[in-house]
Amino acid sequence: MEGRTVGSIGAGIRSLWVFDFDGTLSPIVADRHAARIHPMCRELLKGLARMPMHFVVVLSSREIEDLAKRVPLPRVILGGASGLEWRLPGGHRIRPGDPAEARREKVRRTLDPLLARLSHIPGVDVEDKGWSIAIHYRHVLPEVVPMLEPLLKELEGAQDVRVYRGPSVAEVQLLRNVSKSFGVRTICRIIGFDPSKDRIVYAGDDTNDAVAMRWVLRRGGISFSVGGVARVPGARIVENPVALVRAVGALAGVPPHQGKGKR
């Protein structure tokens, strides 16, 4: 891996391209239900998926059904719940079993009182995403933040969960061992992808993505931090989804489709 060049990745190199969704392929929007894949990102994924020996994955903390509605690309592998749920090309689904669901419900019950306190803070929106819980605080007024932050710290100290911070959101993974790094490792096993021989490229924008970025970089891969919030040594920072399209397109030799999106 050490001697592998990091210039361009073209035909003939077996490659795995993994993209977060919110903030990476879709601009961050005030209403998360309105999030849509950027047209240039959609064309990029289609172009990558057409290349022989290239696998394209969208890995999100959203549930798989929600993600599938936003990424209607049949050749693209979809990973929901940070890699607990999968939809493969051809429609095959992979889901966690009953023991994982039982553990999730036990953890959820222990968090309910704290989540109720958070939900009563003005401007806070608690979103149940099935396998994780997102605490959105984009609309919290500055004078209310001193009420919010101690509760988020308490949440971060809770047993059996892991909390990842993103732009105006705290994501609570209800199974502590699940992260985007878990998701990348899982899809490598599913498709028989060997990171010691092949190339992985990962793009994301928050601290959950940062865990995956570090894992990919340690294996000689390439990581992109969209917006620069996820500060990972060695990751390439790009400003927004359009800048990501241009950087990945140059890396893969896929010319960007201009579309009608913001430049």
Q: In the annotation, is 112 catalytic? A: no
Catalytic residue among 20, 205, 206, 209: 20
Burial label, 52 (beta-carbon count in 10 A; 0-12, 13-18, 19+): exposed
CA distance 52 to 253: 13
What does 92-139 look like in DSSP terms, one character per residue?
A: -EE---HHHHHHHHHHHHHHHHHHHHHHTSTT-EEEE-SSEEEEE-TT
CA distance 139 to 66: 23
CA distance 82 to 209: 9
Q: How far apart are the first and last CA of the chain?
A: 35
What does 11-41 look like in DSSP terms, one character per residue?
A: TTS-EEEEE-SBTTTB---SSGGG----HHH
The set of catalytic residues is: 20
